[in-house]
Amino acid sequence: MLKIETLRAYVTVARSGNLSDAAEVLGRTPSALSMMLKQLEAHLDEPLFETDRKNRLTALGAFVLEQAEREVQHFDTTVRAIEGYARAVYGRVRIATVPSVAGTIIPQVFSRYINDFGEVDVEVRDMDSSSIRHELSRNRIDIGIATKGKHDAGLHSELLLSDEFGVICAPDHPLAQQDGPVSWAELAEHRLIANSLSAGIEAAAARDLHAQALLTAQNLTSIFGMLRAKIGVTLLPEMAISAAAVGELVFRPLADATARREIHLLRKADSSISPAARFLEECIKETVATLQVGSEAALDAARLSDAP
Protein backbone atom coordinates (compact mmCIF):
# COMPACT_ATOMS: atom_id res chain seq x y z
CA MET A 1 0.00 0.00 0.00
CA LEU A 2 1.22 3.45 -0.96
CA LYS A 3 2.44 5.52 1.98
CA ILE A 4 3.04 9.20 2.44
CA GLU A 5 6.63 8.62 3.38
CA THR A 6 7.20 6.81 0.11
CA LEU A 7 5.80 9.74 -1.82
CA ARG A 8 7.87 12.14 0.23
CA ALA A 9 11.01 10.14 -0.48
CA TYR A 10 10.23 10.08 -4.18
CA VAL A 11 9.62 13.82 -4.29
CA THR A 12 12.87 14.52 -2.51
CA VAL A 13 14.89 12.26 -4.76
CA ALA A 14 13.22 13.49 -7.94
CA ARG A 15 13.89 17.07 -6.97
CA SER A 16 17.45 16.66 -5.81
CA GLY A 17 18.31 14.43 -8.75
CA ASN A 18 20.32 11.93 -6.75
CA LEU A 19 19.95 9.57 -3.85
CA SER A 20 22.76 10.75 -1.62
CA ASP A 21 21.60 14.35 -1.31
CA ALA A 22 18.01 13.25 -0.82
CA ALA A 23 19.13 10.78 1.83
CA GLU A 24 20.86 13.61 3.64
CA VAL A 25 17.71 15.72 3.54
CA LEU A 26 15.49 12.90 4.73
CA GLY A 27 17.88 11.64 7.35
CA ARG A 28 18.16 8.12 5.97
CA THR A 29 20.77 6.18 4.07
CA PRO A 30 20.82 6.07 0.27
CA SER A 31 20.24 2.37 0.44
CA ALA A 32 16.97 2.87 2.29
CA LEU A 33 15.81 5.30 -0.40
CA SER A 34 16.91 2.97 -3.13
CA MET A 35 14.78 0.21 -1.71
CA MET A 36 11.84 2.51 -1.16
CA LEU A 37 11.87 3.69 -4.77
CA LYS A 38 12.32 0.19 -6.03
CA GLN A 39 9.24 -0.76 -4.10
CA LEU A 40 7.30 2.18 -5.52
CA GLU A 41 8.29 1.28 -9.06
CA ALA A 42 7.37 -2.33 -8.41
CA HIS A 43 3.99 -1.20 -7.10
CA LEU A 44 3.32 0.84 -10.23
CA ASP A 45 4.95 -1.79 -12.43
CA GLU A 46 6.61 1.01 -14.37
CA PRO A 47 9.93 2.85 -14.07
CA LEU A 48 9.92 6.37 -12.68
CA PHE A 49 13.45 7.29 -13.69
CA GLU A 50 14.99 7.12 -17.14
CA THR A 51 18.36 5.87 -15.93
CA ASP A 52 19.74 4.37 -12.76
CA ARG A 53 21.06 7.78 -11.85
CA LYS A 54 18.00 9.56 -10.61
CA ASN A 55 18.37 12.72 -12.62
CA ARG A 56 15.86 12.13 -15.38
CA LEU A 57 12.24 11.21 -14.94
CA THR A 58 10.05 9.15 -17.21
CA ALA A 59 6.71 10.58 -18.29
CA LEU A 60 5.14 8.62 -15.46
CA GLY A 61 7.81 9.93 -13.13
CA ALA A 62 6.98 13.51 -14.01
CA PHE A 63 3.31 12.87 -13.45
CA VAL A 64 3.92 11.15 -10.12
CA LEU A 65 6.21 13.97 -9.03
CA GLU A 66 3.50 16.49 -9.68
CA GLN A 67 0.86 14.47 -7.86
CA ALA A 68 3.09 13.43 -4.98
CA GLU A 69 4.36 16.93 -4.45
CA ARG A 70 0.83 18.24 -4.17
CA GLU A 71 -0.12 15.38 -1.88
CA VAL A 72 2.82 15.72 0.48
CA GLN A 73 2.20 19.42 0.79
CA HIS A 74 -1.47 18.86 1.49
CA PHE A 75 -0.63 16.27 4.09
CA ASP A 76 1.88 18.48 5.84
CA THR A 77 -0.61 21.31 5.93
CA THR A 78 -3.21 19.04 7.50
CA VAL A 79 -0.75 17.76 10.07
CA ARG A 80 0.27 21.29 10.97
CA ALA A 81 -3.37 22.24 11.40
CA ILE A 82 -4.09 19.24 13.62
CA GLU A 83 -1.00 19.63 15.74
CA GLY A 84 -1.47 23.37 15.94
CA TYR A 85 -5.03 22.96 17.08
CA ALA A 86 -3.99 20.38 19.66
CA ARG A 87 -1.26 22.59 21.04
CA ALA A 88 -3.63 25.56 21.12
CA VAL A 89 -1.53 27.60 18.73
CA TYR A 90 -4.34 27.52 16.25
CA GLY A 91 -8.09 27.70 16.57
CA ARG A 92 -10.87 30.03 17.62
CA VAL A 93 -12.27 30.80 21.04
CA ARG A 94 -15.52 32.63 21.59
CA ILE A 95 -15.80 34.13 25.03
CA ALA A 96 -18.51 36.27 26.58
CA THR A 97 -18.20 38.09 29.88
CA VAL A 98 -20.12 40.51 32.01
CA PRO A 99 -19.08 44.06 31.19
CA SER A 100 -17.15 44.65 34.39
CA VAL A 101 -14.82 41.73 33.71
CA ALA A 102 -14.60 42.68 30.05
CA GLY A 103 -13.32 46.03 31.17
CA THR A 104 -10.87 44.90 33.86
CA ILE A 105 -9.65 41.30 33.81
CA ILE A 106 -9.81 40.59 30.10
CA PRO A 107 -7.53 43.43 29.02
CA GLN A 108 -5.06 42.23 31.64
CA VAL A 109 -5.19 38.72 30.25
CA PHE A 110 -4.37 39.91 26.77
CA SER A 111 -1.59 42.22 27.84
CA ARG A 112 0.01 39.32 29.69
CA TYR A 113 -0.52 36.44 27.28
CA ILE A 114 -1.05 37.91 23.84
CA ASN A 115 2.25 36.50 22.65
CA ASP A 116 1.32 32.99 23.68
CA PHE A 117 -1.83 32.95 21.61
CA GLY A 118 -0.11 32.32 18.29
CA GLU A 119 -2.68 31.97 15.56
CA VAL A 120 -5.55 31.59 17.96
CA ASP A 121 -8.46 33.80 17.09
CA VAL A 122 -10.18 35.07 20.24
CA GLU A 123 -13.62 36.63 20.03
CA VAL A 124 -14.70 38.60 23.11
CA ARG A 125 -18.23 39.85 23.66
CA ASP A 126 -19.83 41.38 26.73
CA MET A 127 -23.42 40.75 27.75
CA ASP A 128 -25.43 40.19 30.88
CA SER A 129 -25.10 36.97 32.85
CA SER A 130 -28.33 35.34 31.76
CA SER A 131 -27.57 35.93 28.10
CA ILE A 132 -24.17 34.41 28.62
CA ARG A 133 -25.65 31.27 30.13
CA HIS A 134 -28.11 31.07 27.28
CA GLU A 135 -25.45 31.49 24.61
CA LEU A 136 -23.33 28.87 26.31
CA SER A 137 -26.08 26.29 26.37
CA ARG A 138 -26.76 26.92 22.72
CA ASN A 139 -23.08 26.40 21.93
CA ARG A 140 -22.77 29.90 20.58
CA ILE A 141 -19.80 30.62 22.81
CA ASP A 142 -17.08 28.44 24.30
CA ILE A 143 -16.43 30.18 27.61
CA GLY A 144 -18.60 32.44 29.72
CA ILE A 145 -17.69 34.65 32.65
CA ALA A 146 -20.85 35.43 34.58
CA THR A 147 -22.83 34.79 37.73
CA LYS A 148 -24.40 31.38 38.10
CA GLY A 149 -28.06 30.98 37.36
CA LYS A 150 -30.54 29.45 39.76
CA HIS A 151 -30.63 26.10 38.10
CA ASP A 152 -28.41 26.11 35.11
CA ALA A 153 -28.38 22.56 33.90
CA GLY A 154 -25.57 21.35 31.73
CA LEU A 155 -23.16 24.09 32.66
CA HIS A 156 -19.90 23.52 34.40
CA SER A 157 -18.93 26.37 36.70
CA GLU A 158 -15.91 27.38 38.63
CA LEU A 159 -15.69 30.38 40.94
CA LEU A 160 -13.46 32.97 39.38
CA LEU A 161 -13.75 35.86 41.81
CA SER A 162 -16.21 37.42 44.14
CA ASP A 163 -16.94 41.05 44.10
CA GLU A 164 -18.07 43.02 47.11
CA PHE A 165 -21.17 45.19 46.87
CA GLY A 166 -20.97 48.74 48.11
CA VAL A 167 -22.92 51.94 48.16
CA ILE A 168 -22.32 54.52 45.48
CA CYS A 169 -23.38 58.08 45.88
CA ALA A 170 -22.55 61.63 44.93
CA PRO A 171 -19.66 63.22 46.85
CA ASP A 172 -21.96 65.64 48.67
CA HIS A 173 -24.50 62.98 49.61
CA PRO A 174 -24.87 62.46 53.39
CA LEU A 175 -23.52 58.90 53.12
CA ALA A 176 -20.37 60.25 51.52
CA GLN A 177 -19.60 62.28 54.59
CA GLN A 178 -18.38 59.28 56.56
CA ASP A 179 -15.88 56.48 55.96
CA GLY A 180 -16.07 52.76 56.55
CA PRO A 181 -18.73 50.11 55.95
CA VAL A 182 -22.37 51.00 55.64
CA SER A 183 -24.96 48.96 57.54
CA TRP A 184 -28.32 47.99 56.09
CA ALA A 185 -30.06 50.18 58.69
CA GLU A 186 -27.99 53.16 57.69
CA LEU A 187 -28.72 52.56 54.04
CA ALA A 188 -32.45 52.23 54.69
CA GLU A 189 -32.62 55.93 55.49
CA HIS A 190 -31.80 56.95 51.96
CA ARG A 191 -33.58 56.56 48.66
CA LEU A 192 -32.29 53.49 46.80
CA ILE A 193 -31.94 53.34 43.03
CA ALA A 194 -32.27 49.64 42.29
CA ASN A 195 -30.46 48.00 39.39
CA SER A 196 -30.23 44.53 37.90
CA LEU A 197 -27.03 43.70 39.76
CA SER A 198 -28.18 44.89 43.16
CA ALA A 199 -31.42 42.95 42.70
CA GLY A 200 -29.31 39.81 42.89
CA ILE A 201 -28.17 40.36 46.46
CA GLU A 202 -29.64 37.60 48.56
CA ALA A 203 -29.56 39.12 52.03
CA ALA A 204 -33.04 39.57 53.49
CA ALA A 205 -32.35 43.21 54.32
CA ALA A 206 -31.42 43.84 50.71
CA ARG A 207 -34.65 42.27 49.56
CA ASP A 208 -36.62 44.54 51.82
CA LEU A 209 -34.84 47.57 50.53
CA HIS A 210 -35.52 46.55 46.97
CA ALA A 211 -39.15 45.98 47.73
CA GLN A 212 -39.39 49.60 48.80
CA ALA A 213 -37.26 51.03 46.03
CA LEU A 214 -39.06 53.35 43.72
CA LEU A 215 -36.57 53.64 40.95
CA THR A 216 -34.88 50.93 38.91
CA ALA A 217 -32.25 51.67 36.33
CA GLN A 218 -30.58 49.24 33.97
CA ASN A 219 -27.47 50.76 32.63
CA LEU A 220 -24.60 52.43 34.39
CA THR A 221 -24.77 55.69 32.53
CA SER A 222 -28.29 56.42 33.64
CA ILE A 223 -27.60 55.22 37.18
CA PHE A 224 -24.59 57.47 37.49
CA GLY A 225 -26.59 60.38 36.08
CA MET A 226 -29.19 59.92 38.81
CA LEU A 227 -26.55 59.68 41.48
CA ARG A 228 -24.95 62.92 40.37
CA ALA A 229 -28.38 64.53 40.39
CA LYS A 230 -28.62 63.40 44.02
CA ILE A 231 -31.80 61.49 43.40
CA GLY A 232 -30.52 58.69 45.62
CA VAL A 233 -27.82 56.06 46.14
CA THR A 234 -27.32 52.68 44.59
CA LEU A 235 -25.66 49.35 45.31
CA LEU A 236 -23.11 47.96 42.90
CA PRO A 237 -20.25 45.47 42.96
CA GLU A 238 -16.96 47.20 43.29
CA MET A 239 -15.66 46.02 39.91
CA ALA A 240 -18.70 47.28 38.08
CA ILE A 241 -17.85 50.83 38.94
CA SER A 242 -14.11 50.54 38.58
CA ALA A 243 -14.62 49.23 35.05
CA ALA A 244 -16.63 52.29 34.10
CA ALA A 245 -15.41 55.85 34.00
CA VAL A 246 -16.69 56.69 37.44
CA GLY A 247 -15.93 60.38 37.62
CA GLU A 248 -16.99 62.12 40.81
CA LEU A 249 -18.68 59.43 42.84
CA VAL A 250 -17.99 57.92 46.21
CA PHE A 251 -17.87 54.19 47.05
CA ARG A 252 -18.42 52.86 50.53
CA PRO A 253 -18.37 49.13 51.23
CA LEU A 254 -21.33 47.35 52.79
CA ALA A 255 -20.99 46.14 56.33
CA ASP A 256 -22.69 42.88 55.32
CA ALA A 257 -19.82 40.85 53.89
CA THR A 258 -22.24 38.31 52.40
CA ALA A 259 -23.38 40.81 49.86
CA ARG A 260 -21.11 39.79 47.08
CA ARG A 261 -21.48 39.00 43.46
CA GLU A 262 -19.82 35.70 42.61
CA ILE A 263 -18.45 35.60 39.12
CA HIS A 264 -17.90 32.16 37.66
CA LEU A 265 -16.09 30.71 34.74
CA LEU A 266 -18.77 28.80 32.88
CA ARG A 267 -18.66 26.27 30.12
CA LYS A 268 -20.85 23.53 28.80
CA ALA A 269 -20.60 20.51 31.06
CA ASP A 270 -21.02 17.70 28.57
CA SER A 271 -18.96 18.76 25.57
CA SER A 272 -15.28 19.41 25.78
CA ILE A 273 -13.67 22.65 24.81
CA SER A 274 -10.84 23.10 22.37
CA PRO A 275 -7.27 23.18 23.61
CA ALA A 276 -7.13 26.86 22.70
CA ALA A 277 -10.21 27.55 24.83
CA ARG A 278 -8.72 25.59 27.67
CA PHE A 279 -5.55 27.57 27.39
CA LEU A 280 -7.44 30.86 27.45
CA GLU A 281 -9.27 29.67 30.54
CA GLU A 282 -5.96 28.99 32.23
CA CYS A 283 -4.72 32.44 31.31
CA ILE A 284 -7.81 34.02 32.80
CA LYS A 285 -7.53 32.05 36.02
CA GLU A 286 -3.87 32.81 36.36
CA THR A 287 -4.45 36.47 35.75
CA VAL A 288 -7.15 36.59 38.40
CA ALA A 289 -4.93 34.70 40.82
CA THR A 290 -2.08 37.10 40.26
CA LEU A 291 -4.29 40.12 40.76
CA GLN A 292 -5.57 38.67 44.02
CA VAL A 293 -2.14 37.97 45.45
CA GLY A 294 -1.86 41.57 46.58
CA SER A 295 -5.56 41.37 47.31
CA GLU A 296 -7.35 44.65 46.79
CA ALA A 297 -4.12 46.48 46.12
CA ALA A 298 -3.50 44.46 43.01
CA LEU A 299 -7.07 44.88 41.89
CA ASP A 300 -6.72 48.60 42.30
CA ALA A 301 -3.58 48.53 40.21
CA ALA A 302 -5.47 46.67 37.54
CA ARG A 303 -8.15 49.27 37.54
CA LEU A 304 -5.73 52.15 37.25
CA SER A 305 -3.79 50.67 34.36
CA ASP A 306 -7.11 50.01 32.71
CA ALA A 307 -8.44 53.57 32.79
CA PRO A 308 -6.12 55.88 30.88
Q: Which residues bind a copy of itself (CB under 8 A)?
A: 1-5, 44-47, 50, 58-60, 63-64, 67-68, 70-71, 74-75, 78-79, 81-83, 85-87, 91, 271-275, 277
The four Cα atoms 257, 178, 297, 105 give a dihedral, to 10 degrees, of: 70
What does 54 bind: DNA, a copy of itself, none (CB cut-off 5 to 8 Å by kind)? Answer: DNA
Q: Which is nearer to a copy of itself, 63 or 294 (CB)?
A: 63
d(CA 251, CA 6): 71
> Could you tell which of a copy of itself, DNA, none binds residue 216, using a CB distance below 5 to 8 A set by kind?
none
In terms of CB distance, is 78 or 222 closer to a copy of itself?
78
Question: Where do contacts with DNA occur on this chain (CB under 7 A)?
Answer: 3, 5, 18-20, 27-32, 34-39, 51-55
Residue type, 132: I
CB atoms inside a 10 Å sphere around CB 185:
9
Closer of 83 and 286 to a copy of itself (Cβ): 83
31 binds, among DNA, a copy of itself, none (CB under 5 to 8 A by kind): DNA
Asked if residue 163 lies in contact with residue 129, where contact means CB atoms within 8 angstroms, the answer is: no
Distance set, CA 38 to CA 55, 69, 109, 148, 194 (Å): 15, 19, 56, 65, 82
Angle between helices 275-293 and 59-86 (to 10 degrees): 30
Task: Indicate which of DNA, a copy of itself, none lies near residue 67 (CB less than 5 to 8 Å, by partner kind).
Answer: a copy of itself
DSSP 3: -
Q: Around Cβ 66, how many Cβ atoms within 10 Å?
A: 12
Picked from DNA, a copy of itself, none, the partner binding residue 46 (CB below 5 to 8 A depending on kind) is a copy of itself
Of 53 and 207, CB closest to DNA: 53
Q: How far is the CB of 61 from a copy of itself (least distance, A)?
A: 8
